[in-house]
Structure formats: C-alpha cells, structure tokens
C-alpha cells in the first residue's frame, strides 16, 4: 500500500541542530529531521555569506537526492570577524581562543537557508546577517560561561540563548538568525510554498 504525501510531515529539515528544531517548533511547522551527511566548506578566509548559502544548499540537495518528491530545508551558520570565519571549535582550548578574539568586538553572524524540492522544481537560497557585540572577556569569565554552555557544537563557540549576560553587550538584527535560523525569512519561504 502506498503512503499518501498528506500523511507525511510537510518538509524535511536537513540538520541535527537542536536549536533549529526548537525554532521551527515555535512557528508550528510540521517537519521531520534527516541530517545531511556532507563535508561542509569551512575555509577560514572564505566569503562568509557565500559559504553559508553554499553549505545550506549542499545539505538540502544531499537529502533531496534521496527524497526527490519532498521539500527539504537546509541551513548553515557562521561567525565572521577580521576577514576570518569562526566555525565550530575543535576542543575547549580552541573555544577559549575564539571567545578571547571575539571579546570586546563586534562580529557578524551569517546564516544561509535553502529550500529544495526536485519534483516541484524548487531551489531557493537566502542569506541573512546579524551583528553581535561582545563584552570584554577574560579566561575567568569564559570559564564561567563554559560551565553553562557547551561551545563545541556552536559556530564561534557560543550561543546567544544561554549565559548571554556573561558575554554579550548587544546585538542588531534577527535574534533567531544568531541562534542558527532566521525565523521571519524562513517562515516567509515556507509560507510561499504552503508548507506552514
């Protein structure tokens, strides 16, 4: 017996990020999760917006190749300062170094979002940017922050939703973008295709 499309969630999220799941849950989206098994481009001197848009499309297309009749949402986020991208740190020492470099400075957070459906001929990619200004940081403050937050699964070694008062002075732009998925832009994209 074949399963009708209507009994499936409206789209697949090509990401294992708990923050992206939480954000999509906030807008009542109907989706399932299938993380893309891809090697992301995280070159340190890459153009950050082109990089996240490319990675978002890479993830969405990997899942779309396996589910051509479904809508796939892919996303990627990075932190950018002084011409360098700050990907997820490899260990706690690298995480500490990242936050020391970001301390007292304003950096840019870029997120790319891709929506792909082979059967419907849909392939859309957008890029969104926000700015975050950190308080001056030292190793003692960073140590306290790491007691609250695991930096190893986060671009730039931080998350805006926990321990914010310790490290963040202010931000401009989309708060959800800094978390990893710009909700207003993503919602508009999903609404255009009647996925929410």
State the CATH number of the domain containing residue 89. Answer: 3.90.950.10
Helix, strand or coil, per DSSP, at residue 123: strand
Which tokens sit at 124? 């859309």
- b (16+ CB within 10 A) / e for 91-123: eeeebbebbebbeeeebbbbbbbbbbbbeeeee
Q: How far apart are CA 142 and CA 177, in angstroms?
A: 23
* Domain range enclosing 131: 5-192
Indicate the pLDDT class of residue 6, thresholds 50, 70 and 90.
low
pTM score? 0.92
Number of domains forming the structure of the chain: 1
Coil vs helix vs strand at 178: helix
Q: Please report which confidence band the pLDDT of residue 42 belongs to, taking 50, 70 and 90 as the band edges.
A: confident
CB atoms within 10 A of CB 195: 18
- Contact between residue 111 and residue 76 where contact means Cβ atoms under 8 Å apart: yes
Task: Say yes or no to pLDDT of 155 above 50.
Answer: yes
- pLDDT of residue 2 exceeding 70, the answer is no
Provide the annotated active-site residues: 76
Q: What is the CA radius of gyration of the chain?
A: 17
For residues 74, 76, 171, 87, the Cα torsion angle rounded to the nearest 10 degrees is 170
């Amino acid at each position: 017996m074949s399963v009708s499309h209507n009994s499936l969630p409206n789209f697949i999220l090509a990401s294992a990020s708990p923050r992206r799941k939480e954000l999509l849950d906030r807008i009542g989206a109907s989706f399932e999760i299938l993380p893309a098994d891809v090697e992301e481009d995280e070159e340190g001197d890459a153009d950050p917006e082109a990089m996240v848009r490319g990675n978002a499309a890479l993830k969405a297309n990997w899942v779309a190749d396996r589910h051509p009749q479904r809508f796939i949402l892919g996303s990627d986020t990075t932190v950018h300062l002084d011409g360098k991208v700050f990907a997820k740190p490899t260990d706690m020492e690298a995480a500490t170094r990242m936050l020391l470099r970001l301390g007292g400075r304003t950096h840019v957070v870029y997120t790319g979002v891709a929506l792909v459906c082979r059967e419907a001929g849909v392939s859309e990619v957008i890029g969104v940017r926000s700015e975050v200004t950190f308080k001056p940081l030292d190793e003692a403050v960073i140590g306290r922050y790491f007691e609250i937050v695991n930096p190893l699964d986060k671009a730039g070694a931080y998350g805006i939703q926990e321990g914010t008062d310790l490290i963040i002075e202010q931000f401009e732009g989309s708060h959800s973008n800094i978390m990893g998925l710009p909700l207003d832009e993503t919602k508009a994209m999903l609404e255009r295709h009647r996925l929410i």
